[in-house]
Amino acid sequence: MFEFCADPASLEGISWFACYLTTGKHMSLYWSILTVLSLLLITAPTALLFGFAGASAARSGFAPLRWLGQIYVAIVRGVPDIAFFLFFVIALDQGFEYLRHQALCPDWSEPIRQGNDFIVCKAAKLPLSTAPQWVHEVYGFFLAVITFAIVFGAFAANVLLGAMRAVPQAQLETAQAYGMSRRQVFWRILVPQMWLYALPGLSNLWVILIKATPLLFLLGVEDIVYWARELGGSKNARFTDYPHGDWRLWYFLGLLVFYLAFTYLSERILAKVNRRLSRGQGIVGATP
């Protein structure tokens, strides 16, 4: 990046570190931080949407819809995250390719399942082999968002369902006695109040989501943990212009500081949101 970095062998001290920390691989490390933050910003509301839909379905008076919501929460929460990530991404990817195969290659005569192999026509592959690298990266990121949203949406559904049940039943009955419909009671009485009961659980879920971002490597996304391990390992002069010993301790210490700082900032913001929602509420911990 800097002009004086042309000859790394002649550098020492601060100049050496300035050049070392601005190499292409370190830029990939910095970009991976933005990738993690983008994943969190997109996944959190998406998972909350999945959770709200799941919780609403689980308390529905229509039995099939209620069973569907309960099955979603039970199955996803009951499967270890790593197992779900390894299975679901493959299933989702093959599902997309199967649908494209049926639409784009109707004359295909060979079976798609050939033993352990899943074979579709070239036009149905996602992404296409001729697609630029950024398309592959965006596709992997898309699969990551969907997978994270479904997994953490199930946990959010369980939190929101408990929050809905925590709203005093007397308030709902009073609203109905005043002539409100079930839809009006749900949106005007239940939903506005449930957030106060749900926020502590959602706050914990947000912290767990932050800590789960290293699972991105299972989805083929090069995250900050991947680059910390890659850059921190021993490098000799045969393979790099900036040889160094085993620096993984320092890179992972940097990750520790990053995650702790981000978690601390999140907790401060969520605490302010909780105080704002508690204002005027007649429950324990409310602000008068």
Q: How far is CA 213 from CA 40, 48, 146, in A?
A: 8, 17, 13
For 257, the token pair is: 């500081």
With 90 as the cut, is the pLDDT of residue 141 above it? Answer: no
CA torsion sign for 118, 119, 124, 127 is: positive
Condensed to tens digits (0 to 9), the pLDDT of residues 231-243 reads: 888 877 666 777 7
Find out whether 144 and 175 touch, Cβ atoms under 8 Å: no
Condensed to tens digits (0 to 9), the pLDDT of residues 164-191 reads: 989 888 888 888 888 888 888 889 889 8
Q: Answer whether residue 154 is part of any domain.
A: yes
Q: What is the pLDDT of residue 235?
A: 79
Q: Answer whether residue 55 is part of any domain.
A: yes
Q: What is the pLDDT of residue 285?
A: 42
Q: Answer whether residue 2 is part of any domain.
A: no
Q: What is the pLDDT of residue 286?
A: 44
Q: Answer whether residue 252 is part of any domain.
A: no
Q: How far is CA 241 from CA 10, 20, 99, 238, 244, in A?
A: 11, 9, 47, 8, 10
Q: Answer whether residue 133 is part of any domain.
A: yes
Determine what percent of the chain is predicted with pLDDT higher than 90. Answer: 27
Q: Answer whether residue 146 is part of any domain.
A: yes
In terms of residue numbers, what domain contains 129? 22-165+198-228
b/e map of 244-269 (b: 16 or more CB within 10 Å)? eeeeeeebeeebeeebeebeeebeee
Condensed to tens digits (0 to 9), the pLDDT of residues 30-65 reads: 888 998 999 999 999 999 999 999 999 998 888 999
Condensed to tens digits (0 to 9), the pLDDT of residues 251-264 reads: 999 999 999 999 99
In the chain, the number of structural domains is: 1
Exposure of 226 in the CB half-sphere (CA atoms within 13 A): 20
Q: Answer whether residue 71 is part of any domain.
A: yes
Residues 6 or more apart in contact with residue 270 via CB below 8 angstroms = 199, 203, 206
